[in-house]
Structure 1
Amino acid sequence: MRTPNIGLYLSFLAEKKLTLQRFYGQSWLYVLIQCAIIAAVWCCAEILVELLHLPLSSGVLGMFLMLILLMSGAIKVSWVRLGAKFVLGELVLMFIPLMMSILQYKGLFVSKGWQLMLTIILSTAMVMLSSALTFIMVRRLQRRLYRYHIHKAHLNLKNNDNV
């Protein structure tokens, strides 16, 4: 049996920590604090949903609440940027409880699985299509604005040359 090289493993961990610190540019404490801010907004949304009996997910309400707080300046983007990057980077871990739930309710998945799969496939296709169309429309608008500003600058140059 091969003995593990502890020194190599520790150097790998130290290198990984340095890489993560370079990526985030801050220590892990900042990332944890920013994740706590995001979690606090989500908890406030959860409390609002419970108190007001809203037919809305606390995640959706939390997203809108965070948007309002960011747009109003109550929370600065720099306060949550690293935490949001971290959470998005580890998003795959959020699907593990989903898979465990599927295994727990195997009977439901077997009886209604085709409906669930159809819903998942259609909703994924709709999200992808709407994202692509939004990107295309925004890109066209950017090109149109760029051409307008270039044309306007070109006309200003001609007018200055004629004077």
Structure 2
Amino acid sequence: MSTSIEERLRDLGIILPEASDPAANYTNCVIAGSLLFVAGKGPSGKPKGKLGQAYSTEEGYQFARSAGIEILAVVKQALGSLDLVARVVKLQGFVNADPAFEQHHLVLNGCSDLMREVFGDSGIHSRSVMGANSLRDNLPLVIDSIFEIKP
């Protein structure tokens, strides 16, 4: 018998928060066909600052993991259960970074690793990550995502 995603979260010691509200005039997510598009989410606690200045790569990894937990909270709110996720399709990260910072990919691993831990092989996804010279509210990173949902 397979483990539910809720059980896996418990085993991992992850408690999902309430889904955070959008920061402006948009919705947290949109379902189009069998795809769920989740708006960009930053880390909990709303830290401020740039990677490579205020924060290290390791701290950025934890911020990306935290943003991933925020994403999962939105998905659960939208679907009612994370067991309705067929797979993680794509993550796209924007890292607020010093121009000399070159470890964007290692930062985004925080979210990628989380998705693999939670969804197993269905958490393996495509992704892209870009450096940004600024982000809303001076967040260190923002991640948006696409999920395939079960019929």
Question: Which TM-score band applies after superposition, normalised by the shorter structure?
Answer: under 0.3
Q: Which of the pair is proportionally richer in helix?
A: 1
TM-score by length of 2: 0.26
Question: Structure 1 length as normaliser, TM-score?
Answer: 0.24
Larger Rg: 1
